[in-house]
Amino acid sequence: MSVHKTMTAKSIDFMSNPVVLSASHVSKSFKLPTEQATGLKQACINWVKGIKGYKQQQVLKDISFEVHQGEFFGIVGRNGGGKSTLLKLISQIYYPDSGHINVSGKLVPFIELGVGFNPELTGRENVYLNGALLGFTHEEVDAMYDDIVEFAELGEFMDQKLKNYSSGMQVRLAFSVAIKAQGDILVLDEVLAVGDEAFQRKCDDFFTEIRKDPTKTVILVTHDMNSVKKYCTRAMMIKDGEVVAIGDTETVTSRYTLANLEAEKKEQENNRAQLEAKRQYPNGLNERCPVLRTFPLKESIYKSSDTFQFGVEYQFDEPGDFYLAIAMHDIRRGGITYDTGAKTIKMEQHGRHTVYFELPLNLFNNGEFRLFTSLRVPTPVDPNNTDMVAVAVDDNACTFVIRDDRNRDYALLSDRAMTIKQIDKPAE
């Protein structure tokens, strides 16, 4: 399904050139082994049990496209979309299950930089070996050797062993071989992001230049939309093994960006849904105890002579004893002022109910307090202890304030609660 969209003026020029690479109805699937089957034993077991031992996965479906001489053709797509497989098919590393790929001219693939580089060989020897692997004779490598060395800026290091190179130097050398190799079709996979800034600029110049050369064709696989826009004359987008867009770079890159946004959005939605599923219950509560709330009966500021009355609403349906434990927290001074203890307040009714409590305020000075209520059940193995089922925090906790002219602010306990008396010298 080749979708030829409107071409920009630039790309029309190439359409009259001869086709140097054509793929027609190319499909490819892989057998993914479900169990490690590289042993005779496993193979026998699988054979006896009638297990196939692999899963068929369709990676490319009916891909058709043509690349004309002189084009700078971009292939884009998200991870796992089949780009790399297509690239390997173009480079004849894989063979299609059905369909044909025709290449005319010398195709130089760079699936990875520095294929066959050996750390024990010198830079020079590696260039010749790499060249040989790419199909260049000794004489051909001779002819491009100086260019390669100059481009890599490694003149003085060429007789050093590769293992003494820094990783940046190795990459530079590999990349220089890649782009100085005098092929007709250059196939590049994600190699633009190598080297320091100065080297990047050189690469940039090189791509700009090769773009102008009408005899050289470049096929570039990348995630980087900027480089597609900058260098490519035409592009193609692959999604789930199919060509979803082919044509001028603007159309394809915006399609790609759109697809990425969609995917991102979907992912976010997924995340949110997951979070919501988890967050059905407020903080501290759960499906065993979906409701636990402490609330004041009247919202106001209390005097020390008042009694603070509050309610606790709960829902608990599991059979057996359960208790409420209430802790009083001093917000300003910190620390727990009072705690009922885990097994003091035993509840009588299961289901959803509200119970009421009061507490005297006479002992306290001015302050802001918060009540946390927890719902507890006896620990099965140790009846003297309890396990917390839920706790009412955040909005489910209740706060009250004591303000009284008679009170002081600094200490927690008022002088009504206690005084310190001076005494005579203690008796022996």
Partner 1 sequence: MQELVTKFKARYDYAWVVLQGLVKTDFRLRYQGSFLGVAWSVLKPLMTFCVMYVVFGKFLRMSDGTPTYPVVLLLGISSWQFVTDSTNVGLRSVVDRGDLLRKIHFPNYIVVVSATVGAMISFAINLGVVLIFALFARVQFTWRVLLLPLNIIELYLVTLGITLIMATMYVYFRDIAHIWDVLQQLVFYGMPIIYPLSYVTNRGGLYATLARLELLNPFAQAIQDIRHNFIAPETQPTIWNQYHNPAVKVIPFALAVAFLWLGVYLFRRNSRKFAEVM
Query: CA 391 to CA 375: how far, in whole Å?
Result: 6
279 part of the interface to partner 1, by CB under 8 A? no
Q: Length of the chain in residues, anyone? A: 428
3-state helix, strand, coil in the chain (%, to 5): 30, 35, 35
95 part of the interface to partner 1, by CB under 8 A? yes
Phi, psi dihedral angles at 354 (to 5 degrees): -125, 135
**In the set 12, 25, 58, 116, which binds partner 1 (CB under 8 A)?**
116
* Those residues with Cβ within 8 angstroms of residue 282's Cβ, 6 or more apart along the chain or in another chain: 394, 395, 396
45 part of the interface to partner 1, by CB under 8 A? no
In the numeric block, the tokens 């001015």 are attached to 366
**In the set 4, 12, 39, 388, which binds partner 1 (CB under 8 A)?**
39
| Site stretch for partner 1 (CB under 8 A), options 123-131, 198-206, 276-284, 329-337 | 123-131
β-bridge mates for residue 328, sequence order: 338, 371
**In the set 9, 41, 381, 422, which binds partner 1 (CB under 8 A)?**
41
CB nearer to partner 1: give 127 or 203: 127
88 part of the interface to partner 1, by CB under 8 A? yes
112 part of the interface to partner 1, by CB under 8 A? yes
- How far apart are CB 117 and partner 1 at their closest, in Å? 10
125 part of the interface to partner 1, by CB under 8 A? yes
Question: How many C-beta atoms lie closer than 10 Å to residue 111's C-beta?
Answer: 16
β-bridge mates for residue 352, sequence order: 315
β-bridge mates for residue 354, sequence order: 313
CB nearer to partner 1: give 88 or 353: 88
Query: CA 193 to CA 226: how far, in whole Å?
Result: 12
**In the set 52, 55, 100, 138, which binds partner 1 (CB under 8 A)?**
138
Q: Can you tell me whether residue 204 is helix, strand or coil? A: helix
* Those residues with Cβ within 8 angstroms of residue 239's Cβ, 6 or more apart along the chain or in another chain: 77, 78, 81, 259
**291-296 and 307-316 strand pairing:** antiparallel
* Those residues with Cβ within 8 angstroms of residue 55's Cβ, 6 or more apart along the chain or in another chain: 31, 32, 34
30 part of the interface to partner 1, by CB under 8 A? yes
27 part of the interface to partner 1, by CB under 8 A? no
43 part of the interface to partner 1, by CB under 8 A? yes
**In the set 45, 121, 359, 377, which binds partner 1 (CB under 8 A)?**
121
**In the set 7, 45, 132, 345, which binds partner 1 (CB under 8 A)?**
132
**List of residues contacting partner 1 (CB under 8 A):** 30, 38-41, 43, 88, 91-95, 109, 111-112, 115-116, 118, 120-121, 125, 128-129, 132-138
